Amino acid sequence: MTLRSLFIAALFISPLCATAQLAEAQARLKSAVSEVLAIADRTANRAALPESLRPVLRKHVSFETMTKRAVGPGWRQFTPAQQQQATQLFSTLIIRTYSNKFTPGEYPAIDYKTAVSPAAGRVDVPTITVYKGSRFSVNYRMEQVEGWKITDVVIEGVSLIANYRSQLDAQFKKGGANAVISSLTQSVSRPL
């Protein structure tokens, strides 16, 4: 095969691969949402919902990536044990907060829009979500981390990670990794 033939083949194959990745990531997101809604439907006790949702969310969300980005540049100064503790606390906080948004018997209507790839290994899946009569623009940011996993959620233009980063970065600047862990511990210990 000549160099020209390889170039022409690459022009046709590359978009097909990108399209397959978009479809794969979007299918993974739809599967995750379906699993979450099925669990929410079966869990009558609202207090038990966070623990019921934990396994499915761990399967579909990269809490490690989310925690690292929420902490920001200071993450490199955490010891491995502190990183693990921060990830555990942050995931508990996110799962509790997310679970608290559900009202038994009320489920969102989700309209999945065309997924886009802003960079290699990343896919954004925009949706329009209607819940309790309100309409929200929700963009799920996904990355190839042991398969496609959610690494951020942007609701009405506000990034979950950016929101937490402003808080956790300030804590890190005040007192390093211990201050971040203390702040997360306090947040997790507060009743919702």
CATH number where 149 lies: 3.10.450.710
Q: Give pLDDT tens digits for 128-182.
A: 999 888 899 999 999 998 889 999 999 999 999 999 999 999 999 999 999 999 9
pLDDT at 174: 94
- Cα(69)–Cα(122) distance, integer angstroms: 15
Q: Which tokens in the block code for residue 4? A: 């020209």
Q: Give pLDDT tens digits for 46-102.
A: 788 899 999 999 999 999 999 999 999 999 999 999 999 999 999 999 999 888 887
Q: Which is nearest to 187 in space by CA: 44, 77, 70, 102? A: 70
Containing structural domain, residue 128: 3-189
- Cα(140)–Cα(66) distance, integer angstroms: 13
pLDDT at 49: 87
pLDDT at 149: 96
- Cα(167)–Cα(71) distance, integer angstroms: 9
Q: Give pLDDT tens digits for 87-142.
A: 999 999 999 988 888 776 778 899 999 999 998 889 999 999 998 888 999 999 99
State the DSSP H helix or E strand holding residue 151, giving kind and residue range, or none if neither. strand 148-155
The reported pTM is 0.84
Hey, what amino acid is at 106?
A: E
- Cα(70)–Cα(173) distance, integer angstroms: 14
Interhelix angle for 80-99 vs 63-71, to 10°?
A: 110
CA atoms in the 13 A half-sphere facing the CB of 53 = 30
Number of structural domains (the chain) is: 1
Q: What is the DSSP string of 44-113?
A: --GGGHHHHHHHHHHHHB-HHHHHHHHH-GGGGGS-HHHHHHHHHHHHHHHHHHHHTT-BTTB--EEEE-
Q: Would the pLDDT of 32 be above 80? A: yes
